[in-house]
Structure 1
């Protein structure tokens, strides 16, 4: 048995090294966390990004004789192909027969019944480093479940593709939601492992509780590493350009405009039928991962950012430009805009015609405070 496990570990190591990057993810460092799983009943909160080389983490651990009792799934589901916000129910994994419990929708937090046959929890999901990308909210609620039920939580860390800067408005806690649970900026510059330590250390979990936490770090990663994701993290972030643009273009989710869902350039184009007709044209269609996108089958006019070199900052220009061009100013913002922004100030600033420089200056006091807190929890060399 020991020889078999050693051989499987060797194969996993080779698979991890075969990736095009010099970074080794926490998941690939099986020797560092396998002892914590031996003789334990294990549940994992994972999706399609939880891989070691080309193999899913669940399959790797089963080969290593780890006793997995169930899988928890986040937004977009275990296989990562559900639309944003789409209801994902409980099911069974066809490949392994393991039960899948959805932790998205009304049942977002694992309860005592879910954990009665679990000794250890594992979190392994690729994040993209923005406050409104819901996987860090799922992480917090899993940490609270672990604390409530006295379970060890192991976070298998992965690089943050937007981890090379910190930017954007810091959330006003009056605007807490599942797309923003803590007073952090839109771009927080932390891996999920670092953020988990912050949640614990700052007493941000429910009732100030602390979770028994073990972070398996990456090797070969710093906050200056421009890491190319081997698996797309969700249906509408298909490439690195979409991931780099996402912190700024996601604000269009709080407007009547399309940000390219239903095209081959989601989060890389934006537009509306009422913008000037001499601009870039596209038409959202019903496609897997965007079955009913905004402005479905309507010809939109706007801008294509797919070839623009992204800067290490949250780019407000697309939203500012769209507001200037949109003819019905009183209909530009939906209620969701303030939820995404994490405040009411940004909308007011845009309506008042403030420049990007003026808006960015207003972020500085809260950003400086956050940066000083952030440094306490970093596990990797910073970009500064």
Structure 2
């Protein structure tokens, strides 16, 4: 009897410690491409478009498919351009590489001439302001308008399927947030494509021929990032923190660009770091530890050539996630902004171009900060809007 119990115990331990293998759409699509061998293919890809063996989409495609064009998003084909850096057209192996973050953000009819199928494969990170969803939108619209099939090689959402935060209001739509979804939308890029189509968020949505190659083995959990999806998002912890701290880009606070730990540190030369930490810690935020730090942003080509407060010593705060399952990055970020305004009302500023409104998705946050209103008012709105969104997307969930 003891031997049986011990054997069962060993079996349970071995099962609990086994790693679950995730296969993204790219892994499954290339198991058999014979159906597409006579089609003219365009790829939408970057450095994250790799299979589980580390082979990129272009190298996989050119073995069995007729690749005629490549399109790349913000940060370029190899992920070497900093945020906002304009990417020029180029070529690789004689095939044109068209930038969708330069002169045009949408493929033109001339660029899509004779294309039969678009293969789309980009690693998103689950935050509304991350621009790969905007690129997806424009590519889908071009596909619909030009009668071209689009196949999404889906990938996991590293932040999982949790939904949090306020919904974007349409009048604040921009390339850092085009659609009325919460900041943390909880969708994969394939699920988002279905949402775009079914809600008619593009021209000729009803005409689009859309196919999703699903992820296998992923069930909505956090997943570590093995390839940085952009220069300033090196890992999962940064991607989680970015979900809230990206809002600092719309202020005169350094969000840590120009350091080796962007978004994990932030500050300004005039910041009273300890006083801000004391205020935020009094709110009993969970899953995070805050420490004072000083840092000096430097020019880092390919990451941040001209960071805020370049070469100036900043008093900062470093963020350490202690439990990713309970941390609320958006609430943390807003708590910082409100505490910093309260302690530095004459120093703290938001961008005059309304960029913080675009990131947040409305002007409600800025009004809340400067009117001295309670964060609880925002939390009620976030909860209501995220609950409605979760109900709305139920028919489009794939995982």
Same fold per TM (> 0.5)? yes
Structure 1 equivalent of residue 3 of structure 2: none
- Name the CA distance, whole Å, in 2 between partners of 1:363 and 1:104: 31
Tell me, yes or no, if the aligned pair for 1:152 and 1:213 is still in contact at 8 Å. Answer: yes
* CA RMSD after TM alignment: 1.8
* Alignment-derived partner of residue 55 in structure 1: 55
The aligned counterpart of 2:16 is none
Give 1:141's aligned residue.
138
Shift of residue 103, structure 1, vs aligned partner: 0.9
User: How do 1:1-384 and structure 2 match up within 5 A?
Assistant: 22-31=21-30, 34-52=33-51, 53-63=53-63, 65-93=64-92, 96-206=93-203, 208-223=205-220, 225-276=221-272, 279-288=292-301, 289-310=303-324, 311-313=326-328, 314-315=330-331, 316-328=334-346, 331-334=349-352, 335-380=354-399
Larger radius of gyration: 2
Cα distance between partner residues in 2 of 1:192 and 1:347: 30
Query: Structure 1 residues 329 and 371, CA, compared in 2 at 3 Å: closer, same or farther?
Result: farther
Q: Distance in 1 between matches of 2:219 and 2:75?
A: 28
Q: 1:25 to 1:197 in 2, by over 3 A?
A: same
In the alignment, the residues of structure 1 paired with residue 115 and residue 389 of structure 2 have an alpha-carbon distance, to the nearest angstrom, of 35
8 Å Cα contact 1:269-1:306 kept in structure 2: no
Tell me if structure 2 keeps the 8 A contact 1:163–1:188: no
Do the aligned partners of 1:320 and 1:350 also contact (CA within 8 Å) in 2?
Answer: yes
Whether contact under 8 Å (2:223, 2:236) holds in the other structure is no
Cα pair 2:144 2:204 within 8 Å, conserved: no
Shift of 1:128: 0.3
Shift of 1:205: 1.0
Report deviation, 1:352.
2.3
Deviation (angstroms), 1:329? 5.3
Change (3 A) 1:33 1:145: farther
SS in 1 for 2:267: strand
The runs of 5 or more residues in structure 1 that have no matched partner are 1-19
Give distance in 1, aligned partners of 2:126 and 2:215.
Answer: 16
Gap change, CA 1:318 and 1:22, over 3 Å in 2 = farther
**Could you tell me how far apart the structure 1 residues matched to 2:299 and 2:231 are?**
13
1:208 shift after superposition? 4.8
Deviation, 1:320, is 2.7
Number of residue equivalences: 357
- Work out whether residues 286 and 293 of structure 1, in 8 Å CA contact, stay in contact via their aligned partners in 2: yes
Structure 1 residues 180, 361: CA separation in 2 closer, same or farther (over 3 Å shift)?
A: same
C-alpha displacement at 1:372, in angstroms? 1.2
The secondary structure found in structure 2 opposite 1:27 is helix
The alpha carbon displacement at 1:349 in A equals 1.0
> What do the CA deviations read for 1:71-128 (whole angstroms, capped 9, x no partner)?
10100000011011111110112xx332110011331111110011311001100000
C-alpha displacement at 1:183, in angstroms? 0.6
Q: 1:323 touches 1:332 (CA, 8 Å); kept in 2?
A: no
Shift of 1:346: 1.0
Q: Deviations over 1:113-172 (max 9, x none)?
A: 001131100110000011110000000100000000000000000000112311111001
Secondary structure in 1 matching 2:294: strand
Which runs of 5 or more structure 2 residues have no equivalent in the other structure? Answer: 1-18, 275-291
The Cα shift of 1:365 comes to 3.0
